[in-house]
A and B are shown apart, each in its own frame.
Chain A
């Protein structure tokens, strides 16, 4: 019973990691294209990253 829960939490964290990585990478691309929009892009990036991070933490604490 214990092992599937831990593996599941690990999978969720991997997913969250990929998600945050993609958000960061896309934000980098966007900033490189339009450096003048850096502030807006960073704000949107942080919000999206925070939302995904919440899911990751919820998975860790559910185990």
Chain B
């Protein structure tokens, strides 16, 4: 039965793999050629110096990648380059600048216009930061690092919106999951059948072995939250919505700071003893070890932050570079190659999305475990 439809599967696979050819046969005389003529017309060097809108295809891909990995003040789904139309929706801008200034990001006209609010003028820089300007919107300093005043930005950006959606989704999914237990007499149903083993895995394989039977319960809420939060955000980042939340260092820094605070605020005297006066080593060694261990307290959450950020950031960049190959090669070889590579990397990224959530939770549990560890030198005897 299974082998009888092997041929069908093979044909389906072939069609999938070679599908890009037909796409390119139709498209080759459309947009990419136009942009290539533009490259010939202007010299590329001059464009780089002017920092004008990039016209050659490579710097366009570069600019797109840079915009994707940054947070944005509007939710742009896609844009039509030929007509210049943007598809998406604006998000609210909330600034603290002589009182609260609230206006819609559509006032910026995708960074081309100066927004006005209660007599103050703001302009969106190339780095997606908001600068205070005069009525004509002049930015002082060089193009990429303007010296204008930056008002405090509390805007609901793309990342903030996604975090809110994920938080709401998690609240909805897990509170309804909890209700089904009460209704079904302790047996999960529906979506709970999928999530129950994962919750149990976090408890039995991550929390208990690393923290210990005695103390694990008070950390479970944080470990489960952080696991599903990172996992959901990573998976959201792989959708074509183009969200890059866990690849944003501010978000991972927030998670790492919470981990740091929990580790150090719940630590017992044994933990601090191991840092400042390491038991069981000669006294000169204790003096040398203390600063190293103290540094380690800060390096641990820093490594957590960098690891998650860099993994997701690198994943997004690699995926988009591979997709960008299509527009650089503009033939069926490059198209199929790019399709196959980006498909393979996408599958790996699904794995990485889970793996990074697992590693973050695992290491957080490890740090919590070291914070509440009992004095175990005597336990070796029995």
Contact = CB atoms under 8 A, between A and B. Distances in A.
A61 B306 contact: yes
B39 interface: no
A47 B367 CA distance: 12
Contacts of B304: 54
Given A43-B205, A58-B303, A50 B310 contact: no
Contacts of B362: 43, 46-47, 50
Contacts of B307: 50, 53-54, 57
Contacts of B303: 51, 54-55, 58
B229 to A, nearest CB: 18
Query: Taking chain A's interface residues, is the majority helix, strand, or loop, or is none over half, making it mixed?
Result: helix
Contacts of B359: 46-47, 50
Contacts of A57: 306-307, 310-311
A41 interface: no
Contacts of A58: 302-303, 306
Interface-centre pick from A39, A50, A51, A60 (highest chain B CB count, 10 A): A50
A53 B310 CA distance: 10
A46 B355 contact: yes
A19 to B, nearest CB: 15
B358 interface: yes
B366 interface: yes
- Chain B contact-residue range equals 10 to 19
B79 to A, nearest CB: 30
A54 B358 contact: no
Nearest to A40: B209
B363 A61 contact: no
A58 B303 CA distance: 8
Contacts of B205: 39, 43
Interface in B57-113: none
A39 B358 CA distance: 14
Nearest to A54: B303
A46 B351 CA distance: 13
Interface in B327-382: 355, 358-359, 362-363, 366
A47 B310 contact: no
Contacts of B302: 58
A1 B34 CA distance: 41
B306 A47 contact: no
Nearest to A58: B306
Nearest to A55: B303
A47 B361 CA distance: 11
B355 A60 contact: no
Interface string A30-55: 00000000010001001100110111
Nearest to A50: B359
Contacts of A39: 205
A39 B233 CA distance: 26
Nearest to B307: A54
Interface string B121-163: 0000000000000000000000000000000000000000000
B198 to A, nearest CB: 15
Nearest to A47: B362
A60 B313 CA distance: 12
Given A54-B303, A60-B310, A47 B355 contact: no
Interface-centre pick from B306, B355, B358 (highest chain A CB count, 10 A): B306
A57 B306 CA distance: 7
Given A47-B362, A47-B363, A58-B302, 9 more contacts: A46-B362, A50-B307, A50-B359, A50-B362, A53-B307, A53-B311, A57-B306, A57-B310, A60-B310
22 contacts: A43-B205, A43-B362, A46-B355, A46-B359, A46-B362, A47-B359, A47-B363, A50-B307, A50-B362, A50-B363, A51-B303, A53-B311, A54-B303, A54-B304, A54-B306, A54-B307, A55-B303, A57-B306, A57-B307, A57-B310, A58-B302, A60-B310
Which 9 A-B pairs have CB atoms at the shortest separation, nearest pair first?
A54-B303, A57-B310, A50-B359, A54-B307, A57-B306, A58-B306, A54-B306, A57-B307, A53-B307
